[in-house]
Amino acid sequence: MSAPHVDDCLSRGSGEFSALLLVNPKQVQLFRWLALGCALACADQASKWWVLAQLMPGERVVLIPGWFDLTLVFNRGAAFSFLADQSGWQRWFFTLVSLAAAFVLPWMITKTIDRPLSCAALAFIWSGAIGNGLDRAIEGQVTDFFLFYREAWHFYFPAFNIADSAITLGVVLLLLEEFMQWRKTARN
């Protein structure tokens, strides 16, 4: 028995066309979540390239006076400059962590493919790991540029980037998903 011809499958309107292409709906969903992650990682890298082309290190451009600036700073460590003052080993450590995340998080998405909030969260975290991981692997440091502060209160939040924001949003979404699951279980 021969495989059905594409035109025959299309004209019959059957599901044979999907089978012919060996398209698995879960693979399509995984592809969509990874495409979202890739888009965010590309936006992160493009924004960093733009800031690097426009600003000098330490330069600030006021966007909302007293609240929000663009600046150019570099972080050799992790969140909040954790381990930034070390001798350089942290570059390779965090690069390896990002590389591990690049493989583990898509696998985790396949395990939670029927839970869209978890998939979105993992895609966000994956994109951030890729964006900051590329910086560390290539430059040995992460480019940060968003600076939120309240000058009147002498409050300055550490500068961050789109990848940092994606990771943070992903963690918040995972916590929200867990809370919703906990409430659902508690009600039953």
Counting other chains too, the contacts that 150-158 makes at CB distance below 8 Å and 24 or more residues apart are 150/66, 150/67, 151/66, 151/67, 152/66, 158/80, 158/81
The answer to whether 144 is a known catalytic residue is yes
pTM score, two decimals?
0.80
Catalytic residue among 44, 69, 135, 144: 144
Domain ranges of the chain: 27-187
The answer to whether 8 is a known catalytic residue is no
Map residue 82 onto helix, strand or coil.
Answer: coil
The rounded distance, in Å, linking the Cα atoms of 174 and 126 is: 13
50-94 pLDDT, tens digit each: 999 999 999 999 999 999 999 999 987 666 555 555 566 666 777
CB burial of residue 182 (10 Å; 0-12, 13-18, 19+): exposed
What is residue 15's predicted lDDT score, i.e. its pLDDT? 53
105-159 pLDDT, tens digit each: 999 999 999 999 999 999 999 999 999 999 988 988 899 999 999 987 888 899 9
Q: Is the pLDDT of residue 9 over 50?
A: no
Going across the sheet that includes 142-150, the strands are 60-64, 68-75, 142-150, 155-156
